[in-house]
Structure 1
Amino acid sequence: MLDIPPRVRVHVETPPAAQNDMGVCDAFEQYAPVGKPDAMNAPHPPKVAGIDSTVPSPAHTVAPAPAAPEAPADTSAVAAPAAPGALLQDRLAGWVSDLTTLHELTERLVRTETLTDALTELLRAGAALVGARRGLVVLEPGDGLGPDTTIGLGLGRADLGHIETVPRSAISYGRILDGLQDETTEPDLLAEDGLDPRHREVAARLGYAASHALPLTAQATGRIGAAVWLYDEPAEPTERRRHLVGLYARHASEHLARLVEVERTRACLATMSEELLPSRLPRVAGMRLAVRHRTGPRGGGDWYDALPLPDAALGLAVGSVTGSGPSAVAAMGRLRASLRAYAVMEGEDPVAVLSDLELLLRLTEPARSATALFAYCEPALRKITLAGAGHCPPLLVGERRTEFVETTVSAPLGMLACWEAPSVEFQADPGETVLLYTDGLLHRTGDATDRAFARLHAAAAGVPKALRGDPDAIADHVLRAVLPDGLDEAESDDDVVLLAAHFE
């Protein structure tokens, strides 16, 4: 046996009840969604060192008043002091519980992929850690490059509007964003003598009496925003809760900073792509145009064009460049600009236009290929002559027919040593609409090619008669029918272009 000297002692100054304070874990259990837990949210053992995590926590974190001690049944009995080993075990159990809670909350956070989802998760987790019910986070990067947004938890849009009417210097998150202070707790707002009158009015209207605010600061980018949680009654988080939410906020700030950079890159690519496309569609007698364009998060090479040509004609074009990202967007801009020049010179012959475009692509960018379709339209005659290079066939939509235009099978531009395919000519009836689109519309469905074409055909045939005279309504209906449940707006690696040309 080990001979331990009697001088060795374990000193524990804080009572185990104060050290363990399981309100944080209890709040986390309340915050966790009800249902079958996943691998990262597996329930912990029901008891750790004698602590039952299923006991509900109080609504706020104000320390409860100590209960009056009951008279012992036997006045001669003297309570024995707790063993030092048991006190140390309770303290270690509290530390393990805190680390487990932070681990699970940060795991939830890092699984978010969008800025909005991450901000919402930050608010929910922070509310569980500080014992609050409501809050808001203001994203305002210090470099002024955006994005700027405000998201609330338990607060509607009108409530956020009321809070934003409070002078910036009179509200905690405003002072944090201005660099006037860091973490701040206001345990009893309505009792403060120097509280701004407008802030007092808004707090009384919305029913909050205390707040706890934290800065969101990343190591590389500096301050990117602030978060504040609101209590319904005068209250303040304990020191332990403040420590835990501070650790969580520091980790969350780094994750938010990365998502901010991703959001900025996506916005930059989307702006570049839109600027390289027509700012508006031309107006031509006898024809109305509408277009819908959806860009993927990485920026793609799908494009469209509509340009007036001599003799009251109109040139319509859609195409797609292989690849994604800035290089594909730049290649798309060069290809579209070249096609416009060729269309002005020899637009009556779509085959010649695409042949020149193929030669240019093969000489200047031999490692890249593209699909394209060019149509020479004569609105007065409702006549269209078109040629395609590896592109999807147009769809003709009318009251009496909904059919794909028969086009010859041809390879994409840049795939063969010399491209050439015959053109196709067809006549449209009054009131009919021609739909030109890129293959991204079909790819986003997730179906096989034949089923995707069938879905597109059914969507076009199902356009209500009341909408068939409006190309904008037709484009919206077809897009929502082919890509239901918000798939037309959801992020995807595939760009989508849908160009509708309606003949009067």
Structure 2
Amino acid sequence: MTAPRSPKVAGIQPAISPPSQTPPSESRAASSTDTADQADASERLSDLTALHELTAELARTESLDAALRETLRAGAALLGARRGLIALEPGAAPGTAPERTIGLGLGHADLGQIETVPRASAAYARILDGTADTEQSAGPSVGQPAGPSVAPAVAPPAPSGPSAPSSAPSPGHSRAAEHEEEAAEHPHPESPDADPAGITYPDIAADEALDPRHREVAARLGFAASYAVPLDTRDGTRLGAAVWLYDDPSEPSARQRHLLCQYLRYATEHAARIGELARARAEMTALREELLPPALPRVPGVRLAARHRTGPRGGGDWYDALPLPDRALGLAVGGVTGSGPTAVAAMGRLRASLRAYAVMEGEDPVAVLSDLELLLRLTEPARSATALFAYAEPASRRVLIAGAGHCPPLVVGPERVEPVETTLSAPLGMLACWEAPSVEVTLREGETLLFYSDGLLHRTGDPMDRAFARLHGAAAGAPPQARDDPDALVEHVLHTLLPGPLADQTDHPEDVVLLAARF
């Protein structure tokens, strides 16, 4: 059969010869390759979309518990499992017991039963104890009872020697080489070298190498297989171990293990950051609490109560109550500008200094604040502070008060609720020399003097005048039993101004201080 010829036009021979026909077999092969490439690209896009959605959900979590529960949920979706658990390393979760377990689809009783499995047989315990790191051989496939399967961390080496396949170039060699280079840079989900080193029990009931207690617990809780992986950060820090449980004998595919590995690279770093932040906050809170009074003193004729809420970085607000000579009582509230460790340290120094000045010059509150202002200018020239100090004589219910840029206290009693109008003055450290007169107030029997920080007003979100009006209304609306009990009064005022979780939130930058003294 002769190839077709293009007709001549006006006696001119065509400059471009017609293309030769492609054999049908090569056309079908090219079409098959294109279809495979499209399917591969579609699969990669689907995987990337799934990972993006799951990591976006994880990024919205703000607590360690929430991050770990989201990690469990995402891992179950990627592996096709329904239940799971995470066991943390000792010390991985600040402020908790040495070892903590979080479950997905498992109640406390279920977790308790799983924890009765001997550690030599439980996959998560082997990871935490480090005994799983010595496993080198891959286990059997599903249904072969010969012990756990430890996923290899790297792919087996290619065969060498005479039996190795020939590397002679083929017609499609260049295209195949390009695919191999691309796979080396971006491992395909089915590539075994991207698989995390996990422990697989593909058929627990049939695995006679497992501890009998392990098989008994699995049968009682209704799971037939498990897959466990360590939760390690990039720097090698082990946060714990995660285990996902299957209802039927099964094990994750190479693609599922690879997707889980990609997800855990982000999840572990996110959880580690949240854990470090929680640990820093806990340490800051502990340090701050150590700098505040461990307990309020007992002074005849006065009942005291206090509430304190700190921000995420730790602020500089404080309160104090100390017995003074001649059966007097010193009451103080104040705040240092700034936040963080330096502000907390400055607050501790000022509070300790104010206690010393109060013992020496307590009868003159102005002198106490003047000495404090001089100390602040000499030792903390870049800071300012607000303070309010009251010298109280419980026997006569006479109180002398001096304030430096601080909110005036409230007198709360059965017949009146009104502020004590202290002289308006600048905070300490703002002027070359601070001085302001004090004010004297005599309380009636059964009345309470309520001190508070401006952080209480700021947390309401209202302008200061409106927030103060709300504070006045909350104190005036306190029930009779609350007015007779300073502890009940500060609790009522706190939760009236900041209802619900606002009163106890730890992520607000403003500190809250309430100090009540009922005479």
Q: TM-score range by the shorter chain?
A: 0.7 to 0.9
**Mapped contact 2:459–2:510 kept (Cα < 8 A):** yes
Query: What's 1:126 paired with?
Result: 75
Q: Work out whether 1:239 is the aligned partner of 2:269.
A: no
Structure 1 residue 449 displacement after superposition? 0.8
The count of aligned residue pairs is 435
Asked if 1 retains the 8 angstrom alpha-carbon contact of 2:89 and 2:240, the reply is yes
Q: In 1, distance between residues paired with 2:299 and 2:28?
A: 89
Please name the residue that 1:279 is paired with: 294
Counterpart of 2:393 (choices 355, 359, 378) is 378
| Aligned 8 A contact 1:266 1:297 in 2 | yes
CA distance in 2, matches of 1:326, 1:6: 78
Shift of 1:165: 4.0
Which letter does structure 2 place at the counterpart of 1:187? P
1:171 is matched by which residue type in structure 2?
A
Bigger shift: 329-338 or 123-132?
123-132
Match of 1:152 among 87, 92, 103: 103
Structure 2 residue aligned with 1:113: 62
In 2, the alpha carbon distance for the partners of 1:390 and 1:127 equals 56
Aligned position for 1:488: 503
Greater CA deviation, 84-93 or 339-348?
Answer: 84-93
Q: Distance in 1 between matches of 2:229 and 2:326?
A: 66
Among candidates 431, 445, 458, match of residue 416 of structure 1: 431
Match of 1:391 in 2: 406
Instruction: Quote the residue 1:347 is aligned against.
Output: 362
Give 1:135's match in structure 2, choosing from 84, 89, 97: 84
**Counterpart position of 1:48:** none
State which of 109, 116, 122 in structure 2 corresponds to 1:171.
122
Q: Letter of the aligned partner of 1:447 in structure 2? A: D
1:220 paired residue number: 235
1:102 aligns with 2:117: no
Bigger CA drift: 275-284 or 2-11?
A: 2-11
Q: How far 1:279 moved relative to its partner?
A: 1.3
- Partner SS state of residue 131, structure 2: coil
The SS at the match of 2:501 is coil
Counterpart contact for 2:234–2:265, Cα < 8 Å? no
Given candidates 450, 469, 480, the residue that maps to 1:435 is: 450
Shift of 1:161: 3.7
Cα deviation, residue 448, structure 1: 1.1
Q: Is 160-169 or 475-484 further displaced after alignment?
A: 160-169
Secondary structure in structure 2 of the residue aligned to 1:190: coil
Distance of aligned partners of 1:303 and 1:10 in 2 relative to their CA distance in 1, 3 Å threshold: farther
Question: 1:221, 1:257 within 8 Å by CA — same for their partners in 2?
Answer: no
C-alpha distance after superposition, 1:372-424 (max 9, x if no partner): 01111222222221111100111222222222222221110011111111112
Residue 179 (structure 1) shift = 1.5
Change (3 A) 1:226 1:3: farther
- After superposition, the Cα gap between the structure-2 partners of 1:429 and 1:86, relative to the gap in structure 1 and judged at 3 Å, is same
Distance 2:112 2:303 in 1: 41
Taking structure 1 as reference, are residues 218 and 316 closer, same or farther at Cα in structure 2, changes over 3 Å only? same
State how far apart, in whole Å, the 2-side matches of 1:430 and 1:97 are.
74
Alpha carbons 1:434, 1:500 under 8 Å: kept = yes
Which residue matches 2:278?
263
Q: Determine the C-alpha separation between the residues in 2 that align with 1:10 and 1:407.
A: 94
Bigger shift: 264-273 or 304-313? 264-273
- Contact between 1:215 and 1:227, CA under 8 Å: does it hold in 2? yes
**Aligned AA for 1:226?**
A
Aligned to 1:252: 267
SS in 1 for 2:403: strand
Which moved further from structure 2: 478-487 or 394-403? Answer: 394-403
Query: What is aligned with 2:514?
Result: 498
Q: Distance in 2 between matches of 1:457 and 1:167?
A: 61
User: Which residue number corresponds to residue 61 of structure 1?
Assistant: none
The separation in 2 between residues aligned to 1:11 and 1:136, in whole angstroms, is 49
> 2:224 corresponds to which letter in structure 1?
A
**CA 1:168/1:421 → structure 2, altered by over 3 Å: closer, same or farther?**
farther
* Residue 157 (structure 2) aligns with: none
Shift of 1:142: 7.3
- Rounded to whole Å, the distance in 1 between the matches of 2:470 and 2:42 is 58
TM-score, with length taken from structure 1: 0.80
RMSD of equivalent CA atoms: 2.7
Q: Distance in 2 between matches of 1:103 and 1:3?
A: 47
* SS at structure 2 position matched to 1:418: coil
CA drift at 1:150: 3.2
> What letter is aligned with 2:374?
L
Q: How far apart, CA to CA, are the structure 1 residues paired with 2:260 and 2:121?
A: 23
- 1:84-95 correspondence runs (5 A): 84-95=33-44
Range moving further from structure 2, 481-490 or 168-177 = 168-177
Letter in 1 for 2:456: L
Instruction: Kindly state the Cα deviation for residue 220 of structure 1 after the two structures are TM-superposed.
Output: 2.1
Rounded to whole Å, the distance in 2 between the matches of 1:278 and 1:439 is 20
Per the alignment, in what secondary structure is the counterpart of residue 487 of structure 1?
helix
- Match of 1:185, SS? strand
TM-superposition CA deviations, 1:216-244 (whole Å, max 9, x none): 10122521111222233433322221221
Aligned pair partner of 1:303 in 311, 315, 318: 318
Shift in Å at residue 158 of structure 1?
Answer: 4.0
Which stretches in structure 2 are left out of the alignment for 5+ residues? 1-17, 133-196
| 1:3/1:131 CA distance change after superposition, 3 Å | farther
Q: Which has the larger radius of gyration?
A: 2
Relative distance call for 1:315 and 1:203 in structure 2 (3 A) is: farther
Can you give the 5+ residue segments of structure 1 that lack an aligned partner in the other structure?
13-80
